[in-house]
Amino acid sequence: MTQDRRQFLARAGSLLYTVAGASAWLTPAEARTQGADLRVLDPARVRTLEAFGEILVPGATAAGIAHFVDSQLAVDPNDSLLVTRLFNIEPPYGRFYTGVLDALEALSRLGRPASPARLPRDPQRCRRCRLWHGRGLSQTRRALHGAHRAAQPLVMRRWPGTTHRS
C-alpha cells in the first residue's frame, strides 16, 4: 500500500488513546469521534475548551483539540507537546490549563452575557461573542490578555504552587 506525504504526516500525528478499554494509536480527531477516554479534563472543561478553540480556529472541535490537550496533560511534562513548554509555566501543566479554563468560564459569567461553552458555531456573526471577547472582534488580543490576567489570581488561589507570567 502506498501513501502520499500528507497521509503519512496525518498518521505520524497519532497518539496513544484508550477506547472501550483497549489501547489504540489515533489522531486526536479520531480519538474524539471514537469516544476515547479523557484522563484529565472533565466534560465541562472539554466544552469550554472546544468552544474557545472553535472561536479561535473553525474546526478545532472536530480536529480533536480537547483530546490532544488532554493527552498531553496526562503524560510526563518532559514528554509533553504543549506550547506551555515555551513559556515559564511550571508543570504539571494541568494546573494551568484547568485554572485558565475555569477562569474563562468564570469570566464569561461576570458581566458578560454568555458562557464560552454556550457560544454559537459562527462567533463572528454573533454580537454576544463580540461582547464576550471584549470590545470587538479586532481587539481579541486585549481580551485574551485580560482573560489571562483574570485567570492568574484564580489559578494562584486554586493552585498555590503555580507560577506563570503574562
Partner 1 sequence: MARDHAQVVIVGAGAAGSVFAAVLAEAGRDVRVLESGPPRRLSDLYSSQIWGRRLKWAEPHVAEATRDSVWFNLNAGRGYGGAATHHFAVWPRYHADDFKLHSSFGKGLDWPIEYADLQPWYDRVQEEVGIAGDAEAEVWRPPGAPYPLPPVPRFVQGQVLARGFEAAGLRVAPIPVAVLTRPYKGRPACIWDGWCEAGCPTGALANPLATYLPRATAAGAKLQAGCHVTRVLTDAKGQRAIGVEYVDTAGARHELAADVVVLAAFGVENVRLLLNSATTAHAAGLANSSGMVGRYLTSHPSVMTFGLFDADLQNHMGLSGGQIFSHEHWTKTGRPGAFGSRQYEAAMAIKPNDLLGIAMTRAELFHRDLERFMQRAVRGLGQMTAVCEDQPIAANRIEPDSRRDAHGLPLARIHYTTSPDGMGLWHAAVADSERIMKAAGAMEVWHGPKVAQHIMGGTIMGSDPAASVTDSYGRTHDVGNLFVAGGGLFPTTSAVNSTYTIHALALRAAVHLRDGWAGLTR
Site residues for partner 1 per CB under 8 A: 55-58, 77-83, 85-88, 90-91, 122-124, 137-142, 144, 163, 165
Q: Which three cell numbers stand for residue 50?
A: 472546544
**In 23-163, alpha helices (H):** 28-33, 43-56, 60-63, 65-74, 93-109, 127-133, 140-158
Instruction: Specify whether the CB–CB gap between 102 and 158 falls below 8 A.
Output: yes
Least gap, CB of 18 to partner 1 (angstroms): 22
Query: Quick one: 2 or 88, whose CB is closer to partner 1?
Result: 88
Least gap, CB of 133 to partner 1 (angstroms): 8
Q: Which three cell numbers stand for residue 132?
A: 464576550
Query: Quick one: 111 or 161, whose CB is closer to partner 1?
Result: 161
Least gap, CB of 56 to partner 1 (angstroms): 5
Q: Look at residues 33, 44, 90 and name the one whose alpha carbon lies nearest to residue 67.
A: 33
Query: Quick one: 35 or 153, whose CB is closer to partner 1?
Result: 153
Query: Quick one: 18 or 140, whose CB is closer to partner 1?
Result: 140
Calpha distance 5→110 (Å, rounded): 47
Query: Quick one: 118 or 142, whose CB is closer to partner 1?
Result: 142
| Helix, strand counts (H, E) of the chain | 8, 2
Calpha distance 134→128 (Å, rounded): 10
Least gap, CB of 90 to partner 1 (angstroms): 5
Least gap, CB of 31 to partner 1 (angstroms): 16
